Structure 1
Amino acid sequence: MSTTTAATTSRHLNRLAVAKSPYLLQHAENPVDWYEWGPEAFKKAKEEDKPIFLSVGYSACHWCHVLAHESFEDEVTAKLMNQHYVNIKVDREERPDVDRLYMTFLQSMSGGGGWPMSVWLTPDLHPFFAGTYFPKGRFRDILSKLAELWKDDHDRVVASGKSVIEQLQAASKMAPSDSPISISSSASTILAYLTRRYDSINGGFGGAPKFPSPAQTTHFLARYAALKLTNSETDRDTREKAKKARDMAVTTMLKIWGGGIRDVVGGGFARYSVDERWHVPHFEKMLYDQAQLLTTSLELSLLLPSSSPNCSTLHAIAANILTYTARDLLSPEGGFYSAEDADSLPALPESSARVIGEKRQKKEGAFYVWTSQELDDILGKEWAEVFGYHFGVKLGGNVDPEVDREGHLTGQNVLYTAHSVEETAKKFNIASIEEVQIMLDGCLSMLMVYRDEHRPRPGLDDKVLTCWNGLMISALSKASEVLPSYEKRAIELAENAAAFIHKHLYDSTTGELRRSYREGPGPQGQADDYAFLIQGLLDLYEANGKEEYVVWAVKLQEKMDELFYDGSEEEGGGYYASAPDEHVLIRMKDAQDGAEPSAVSVTLYNLQRLAHFAEDRHAEYQAKADSILRSNSQLLEHAPFALATTVSAGMVADSGYRQYIVSGAPSDPHTQRLLAGIRKAPILNRVLIHVNPDDPPKELAKLNGTIKSLLDGLKKDEKPNVRVCENFTCGLPVYDVMEFEEGLPKVGV
């Protein structure tokens, strides 16, 4: 290496080496002259009149790695980039506001999107070309042609970019529809849409690739089913549709569980499957998927008889996720890390001397897949035969080359449930399925030990995101209520995650959140950080009865309203999804669900619930909730399937929220039985309020006149009881557990 090249590489290393994002750090040694998103890069672009190349991705993304290896690590390509562009790297998980704006442009231009996202901007940050992954030759060609276009037709490119921003600004100011909002009609449209797209053979919706996407699919179906099946006034036709909705969601979850998208050996779920059978995944594991699948499995389990096999499987899914996240994604201080990578280094052969000094390339799925010979060697021939039949192992590998574009999985097996335990027992003439299950569990334990001892682990994205931790706090809170044997562990994990956020990501003097933590707090919080954490805190309060969580949620909603609420009636009000930033040219109001529910839709849920927790502010919260529906009325009318979570929240509100006020010491068995009755019923419209006579909720009483009145007349020696309140009118206290449970909503036959 020449002195000049060495100095250049050192300079590049130093610039991204100070980043906190694991994704940016992955590019610290590229020969590309990368900048972080910020004034330094923008100033350089304007001073040198160079277009900007913006590359957006995330650390666990497989195709981001492919683009990096092919192009960003290539000296010739890097020279082109450095000569003609100011190059900016963005972690989409740290800066969703940047990602959201330019992804909207990409989707409008091409009809699709994804990561890595490659966008070319003018120095004024106006986009004029975009795409996702480009092979090296194509990428170089685009770099050269766009550089020529900038030089030869500069003014037209600038005008085009300015026009794009003006169009996006106009689109972001969609006026409310004049038609009245019908949540019932929107829900029926979504159900019909999902029914048409449902894959009755493999589960899921649509063809390959398949994403779990609970917010858009199974979560909506579970909530639709719960509301319709527990309503005694539901007509026969709607009840049948609700059963179909439940069954589509349950079958999808069971098919996901049986597929290779589940890490059969170590637990947890990959981000998506490249085929329609959930067999071959892209192997990255994201915290937000674990949280949402955990929540969905628990909510669906409440719609089935507790003795049914499907209910048991849904509980197994939940336990599997909880075990995985607590083992592999939990930081020492209690926050949850963001993701595990898709790629990892292949294991060294037993005789590794011959490869010392050679550079090994990471391969997708290397940590997770197995050859038939490996399984024979680790498990022994006899057990490997039984194991291989059950989990679909083939001598030459079980991955279709059509879904393995890079050939990383040639000769490998992605484990999936090819045959049931009963079929396996019959195949090998084994007397009992219990014996087969013990054998399979033993094999899985052996493979996990082998994998951990002999294979390099995938990279860990060890930043803690407020928003995704909020989702996990919600999921863990629900697990503590629903999942047998996990109550104490799930609550402990949820409380520790909340404590981590309070300590590292919350400023109690300003009330503001930071988005991420890694070696210190990261950028300012976005709307989803507030929304998901508020939801998590409300769920945690309902699960453990500690009023500090609901009081914190109220404070966070105040700050969110201050930072994100748009009170302009002209555009219908509503909430921005992005924090204010002079360099993000458009503050989006994006209520559309994606891999996660939108911040706006979760805020709708939160406002509706807070209106009953802090009922003295009911009018204020309700007005803001109404503005969310009003500002999204056109989409609700014409494309409600893009707003499934918003519609879910609207359905719950239309059913009418109920306050369940449980008075009694938490340790009293009678109190526990009353709480258990509430928790085993699928009550989506509940607001569960705890009143402990020994430690009354005095702060909550300042926000809730009903609770204040109750505390004023509270008798310490009164037997535990529950009051059910609707429309802020409470019934008499019920003391008898059986009498109380008899009146709770039930799914019915």
Structure 2
Amino acid sequence: MSTETLTNVLAKSKSPYLLQHKDNPVAWQEFTPSTISLAKQLDKPIFLSSGYSACHWCHVLAHESFEDPDVAEIMNRYFVNVKVDREERPDVDRVYMTYLQATSGGGGWPMSIFMTPNLEPFFAGTYFPKGRFKALLLRIAELWDEDREQCEAMGQGAVEQLKEMSGSSNVAESLTSILSSSPPTKIYTQLLRLHDTRYGGFSGGGSRSNGPKFPSCSMTLEPLARLASYEISEQIDRDKCREMGMKMIRGIWRGGIHDWVGGGVARYSVDERWIVPHFEKMLYDQAQLITGALDFALLSNSSEEEDDDHCQSLQDDRKVCFDLASDILEYTLRDLQSPEGGFWSAEDADSANEKGKKSEGAFYIWDKKELDEVLGEDAEVVGYLFGVKEGGNVDMQHDMHGEMTGKNILYQAKEYAEVAAKFDKTDDQVRGIIKNSMVKLKERRDKRERPGLDDKILTSWNGLMLSALAQAATKLPDTYPVKEQCLAAAEKIVSFIRERMWDEHKRELARSWREGKGPGGQTDDYAFMIRGLLDLYEASGKEQHALWAIELQLRQDELFWDEQGGGYFASAPDEHVLVRMKDAQDNAEPSAMSVSLHNLSRLSLIASNEYEKYEKKAEVTYLSIGEELKQMPRAFGYSACGLMDLEWGYREVIIIGSPSDPLTRRYLNLVHTIYAPYQVIIHIDPSHPPKALAEENDVIKSLIQGMINEVSLRICENGTCGLPIKDIEEAKKVLGVE
């Protein structure tokens, strides 16, 4: 087969990212067995480019190089060129990203990999400017032609190293040995060192950080919430932990990373003050920030013993947390939920500016003249609060391509009290002006070209959103109107996934949906959906959600469990994925391994007839990453959270009573609005007892059999259930609510 027969085949793809490249002069192929066979037949090296639809630098590389006929001609002459959507094929991406990180000390997207026809990588990078990329293509082609044996030897050596890295040589001796190394204290020490005391958040420079800053949860907010709540060590200042978490949440809320006009939060901030965002919006960030904000809202409950100033400070913190969660919920339900109920993946950073040219942030930034025109007499108040300047408020060092010159990003530059004093208004009047102004600005902004939408539906990210919605349905105060939509939206996710993305016959989840099913599901698809289903079970009391979670856990164990080393492989076996990796380290999302650990602990109580099975799997999984938990626990932060929960002690809270009974509602509200991640909530409605779930839990079965029609709450710990409690004040004491 000659080079001329290769053409760009991406028009046949369903991936939004791949479709962005369907008109490139590059003869892109998809990562399929036929493509790999083709590379072998042509005896050419493979250039693999991995990215995702909302990736700004992926677009830059495409515009500079992949759309250039001269660059494309070189690529087509010397390589078989393969495009991978890393969100649809994380198994492929993970292998080569691990190689990239090992060889360069860093990673990111776009990921650029050169490999043999046998898929063995021998050179890797990320974004290359056009001149460097063109020179690199020619140099790699020359190297392949003149010293192919060296390329193959490098590739084979890389694969062997990857296999060693994915092995199970670091299994810990026992849970006791892991706990004795004090992962929580190490996490606290590291976060304290990396904490930006001025602007909040965490990055390499600590208090002198220059950015970037990420709204990470599994590595920051989740551990900090537990460290603030649990009495773990005298070395850990619990108040400081809550303070660090709140400073980060406040920084995000006040910053330009938060979309003041339309809601939601951008992928990250390029600067230390949270002002200049990388404008793409990812579903997984929205979901995790909702749950993180809700956790810190519950941590900010005040007691009668607090002094008035401290009590007011806690109330202010709660409001910021609830405002952020509500803001993100309104955005996701309005702009990311498909009509069928699943949630789309992301909105792009780029869109057309007023001149019709695609640029980053064009949809979100403002010329002062336009603000004045839209807001009229309120423009001065709004401009003062949001730091608006005639010549724009974006620092040149944070605008590499000059795309935001003369423009303004809205961020809270002043306190409301300062604005009120300057304009001789009350605080409430200023807030009213801002609220009305945001409505006007949204009406104007909606006339602009919207950023591109990645409208594929990922099972894993929908699992994260399912958790967020379920928790918001129970934790968000009734004063936030969006709360009313949350439970129904969560149920719609489950219906969509079950009807469209679950194969009842094969008992398997699909990874994605866009005009039909995408590739097969991976470990995180199962793990994140199980967590979401357990959260929805606790929020709704509907046993079918717990039962499907049990079924998915069984299937996850069958497909991904590592019989030799313990823990879960990230993907099912695939002959074209040379190394079967494990997803154990937290990043922008929690790892599938860490979420599975929490799921197993919760299932050991909900489906307690299999307690030993779940507990044993959890223990073996902890041991499989034990040395990493000892040496670098922050990178495994959500797994460390699971250890903290275990050490603190799990409990079941069982409530018997009709949902319509006022006391039942008070009990449910009480248990849902205290911060207790070590708690499993089981609600038994006498009129609709969970008979199927009772077959998985003998405690539930015995309570149903001996049930009397009287509202009660009881706590079960260490295999023993306490006496029924029939008084709300007594319940507060037993639950540790002050």
Shorter-normalised TM-score: what interval? over 0.9
Q: What is residue 467 of structure 2 aligned with on the other side?
A: 474
Separation of aligned partners in 2, 1:336 and 1:31: 32
Match of 1:151 among 145, 148, 151: 145
Partner SS, residue 302 of structure 1: helix
Deviation at 1:172, TM superposition (A): 1.1
Q: Given the alignment of the two structures, is residue 339 of structure 1 paired with residue 342 of structure 2, yes or no?
A: no
Separation of aligned partners in 2, 1:627 and 1:586: 22
Partner SS, residue 293 of structure 1: helix
Letter in 1 for 2:515: E
Q: What is residue 17 of structure 1 aligned with on the other side?
A: 11
Q: TM (normalized to structure 1)?
A: 0.93
Match of 2:449 among 453, 456, 470: 456
Separation of aligned partners in 2, 1:90 and 1:722: 52
Q: Given the alignment of the two structures, is residue 64 of structure 1 paired with residue 58 of structure 2, yes or no?
A: yes
1:93-113 Cα shifts (integer Å, max 9, x gaps): 001111111110000011111
Q: Given the alignment of the two structures, is residue 279 of structure 1 paired with residue 270 of structure 2, yes or no?
A: no
Tell whether the 8 Å contact from 2:178 to 2:627 is kept in structure 1 after alignment. no
Letter in 2 for 1:166: E
Q: How does 1:327-476 map to 2 (within 5 A)?
A: 327-347=334-354, 360-380=356-376, 382-430=377-425, 432-453=426-447, 455-476=448-469
Separation of aligned partners in 1, 2:706 and 2:95: 54
Q: What is residue 263 of structure 1 aligned with on the other side?
A: 259
Match of 1:312 among 297, 319, 324: 319
Deviation at 1:670, TM superposition (A): 1.4
Separation of aligned partners in 1, 2:401 and 2:722: 65
Q: Given the alignment of the two structures, is residue 30 of structure 1 paired with residue 37 of structure 2, yes or no?
A: no
Letter in 1 for 2:734: G
Match of 1:198 among 183, 186, 195: 195
Q: Given the alignment of the two structures, is residue 636 of structure 1 paired with residue 632 of structure 2, yes or no?
A: no
Separation of aligned partners in 1, 2:346 and 2:422: 39
Tell whether the 8 Å contact from 1:720 to 1:735 is kept in structure 2 after alignment. yes
Letter in 2 for 1:362: K
Separation of aligned partners in 2, 1:688 and 1:541: 9
In terms of mean alpha carbon deviation, does 171-180 or 262-271 score higher? 171-180
Deviation at 1:223, TM superposition (A): 2.1
Separation of aligned partners in 2, 1:659 and 1:641: 28
Deviation at 1:596, TM superposition (A): 0.2
Tell whether the 8 Å contact from 2:54 to 2:347 is kept in structure 1 after alignment. yes
Letter in 2 for 1:181: I
Separation of aligned partners in 1, 2:88 and 2:537: 28
Q: What is residue 528 of structure 2 aligned with on the other side?
A: 532
Q: What is residue 355 of structure 1 aligned with on the other side?
A: none
Letter in 2 for 1:194: L
The size of the alignment, in residue pairs, is: 713
Q: Given the alignment of the two structures, is residue 122 of structure 1 paired with residue 131 of structure 2, yes or no?
A: no
Q: What is residue 659 of structure 1 aligned with on the other side?
A: 652
Q: Given the alignment of the two structures, is residue 41 of structure 1 paired with residue 51 of structure 2, yes or no?
A: no
Q: Given the alignment of the two structures, is residue 227 of structure 1 paired with residue 221 of structure 2, yes or no?
A: no
Tell whether the 8 Å contact from 1:615 to 1:703 is kept in structure 2 after alignment. yes
In terms of mean alpha carbon deviation, does 581-590 or 181-190 score higher? 181-190
Separation of aligned partners in 1, 2:588 and 2:13: 26
Separation of aligned partners in 1, 2:93 and 2:677: 33
Separation of aligned partners in 2, 1:392 and 1:505: 46
Q: TM (normalized to structure 2)?
A: 0.95
Letter in 1 for 2:194: R
Q: Given the alignment of the two structures, is residue 50 of structure 1 paired with residue 59 of structure 2, yes or no?
A: no
Q: Given the alignment of the two structures, is residue 322 of structure 1 paired with residue 322 of structure 2, yes or no?
A: no
Match of 1:299 among 286, 295, 298: 295
Deviation at 1:443, TM superposition (A): 1.1
Partner SS, residue 122 of structure 2: strand
RMSD: 1.5
Tell whether the 8 Å contact from 1:227 to 1:684 is kept in structure 2 after alignment. no
Q: Given the alignment of the two structures, is residue 99 of structure 1 paired with residue 99 of structure 2, yes or no?
A: no
Separation of aligned partners in 2, 1:174 and 1:152: 38
Q: What is residue 351 of structure 1 aligned with on the other side?
A: none
Letter in 2 for 1:612: L
Partner SS, residue 60 of structure 1: coil
Tell whether the 8 Å contact from 1:57 to 1:117 is kept in structure 2 after alignment. yes
Separation of aligned partners in 2, 1:622 and 1:178: 16
Q: What is residue 354 of structure 1 aligned with on the other side?
A: none
Q: What is residue 357 of structure 1 aligned with on the other side?
A: none
Separation of aligned partners in 1, 2:562 and 2:98: 21
Deviation at 1:226, TM superposition (A): 2.2
Partner SS, residue 733 of structure 1: coil
Q: How does 1:202-213 map to 2 (within 5 A)?
A: 202-206=199-203, 207=209, 208-213=211-216
Separation of aligned partners in 2, 1:408 and 1:553: 47
Letter in 2 for 1:721: S
Tell whether the 8 Å contact from 2:584 to 2:594 is kept in structure 1 after alignment. yes
Tell whether the 8 Å contact from 1:267 to 1:321 is kept in structure 2 after alignment. yes
1:531-586 Cα shifts (integer Å, max 9, x gaps): 00000000000001000000000000000000011121xx3x11111222111111
Separation of aligned partners in 2, 1:553 and 1:211: 31
Q: What is residue 552 of structure 1 aligned with on the other side?
A: 548
Partner SS, residue 81 of structure 2: strand
1:110-152 Cα shifts (integer Å, max 9, x gaps): 1111111101111110111111111000100110000000000
Deviation at 1:178, TM superposition (A): 4.3
Match of 1:616 among 609, 613, 619: 609
Q: How does 1:695-710 map to 2 (within 5 A)?
A: 695-710=688-703
Deviation at 1:508, TM superposition (A): 1.7
Q: Given the alignment of the two structures, is residue 741 of structure 1 paired with residue 708 of structure 2, yes or no?
A: no
Tell whether the 8 Å contact from 2:173 to 2:623 is kept in structure 1 after alignment. no
Q: Given the alignment of the two structures, is residue 90 of structure 1 paired with residue 84 of structure 2, yes or no?
A: yes
Deviation at 1:322, TM superposition (A): 0.5
Letter in 1 for 2:368: S
Letter in 2 for 1:218: L
Identical amino acids, percent of aligned pairs: 52
Q: What is residue 172 of structure 2 aligned with on the other side?
A: 177
Deviation at 1:713, TM superposition (A): 1.0
Deviation at 1:654, TM superposition (A): 1.4
Match of 1:217 among 215, 220, 223: 220
Match of 1:73 among 64, 67, 73: 67
Separation of aligned partners in 1, 2:298 and 2:215: 20
Deviation at 1:621, TM superposition (A): 0.6
Partner SS, residue 603 of structure 1: helix
Q: Given the alignment of the two structures, is residue 506 of structure 1 paired with residue 506 of structure 2, yes or no?
A: no
Partner SS, residue 648 of structure 1: helix
Partner SS, residue 323 of structure 1: helix
Tell whether the 8 Å contact from 1:183 to 1:651 is kept in structure 2 after alignment. no
Q: What is residue 353 of structure 1 aligned with on the other side?
A: none
Tell whether the 8 Å contact from 2:181 to 2:630 is kept in structure 1 after alignment. no
Separation of aligned partners in 2, 1:364 and 1:579: 37
In terms of mean alpha carbon deviation, does 476-485 or 195-204 score higher? 476-485
Deviation at 1:361, TM superposition (A): 2.7
Separation of aligned partners in 1, 2:102 and 2:324: 37
Separation of aligned partners in 2, 1:95 and 1:67: 20
Deviation at 1:162, TM superposition (A): 0.3
Deviation at 1:174, TM superposition (A): 3.5
Letter in 2 for 1:651: M
Separation of aligned partners in 2, 1:365 and 1:394: 17
Q: What is residue 305 of structure 2 aligned with on the other side?
A: none
Tell whether the 8 Å contact from 1:181 to 1:637 is kept in structure 2 after alignment. yes
Deviation at 1:171, TM superposition (A): 1.4
Letter in 2 for 1:525: G
Superposition misfits of 4+ residues, deviation over 4 angstroms:
none
Partner SS, residue 596 of structure 1: coil
Separation of aligned partners in 1, 2:436 and 2:563: 60
Tell whether the 8 Å contact from 1:16 to 1:27 is kept in structure 2 after alignment. yes
Partner SS, residue 431 of structure 2: helix
Partner SS, residue 217 of structure 1: helix
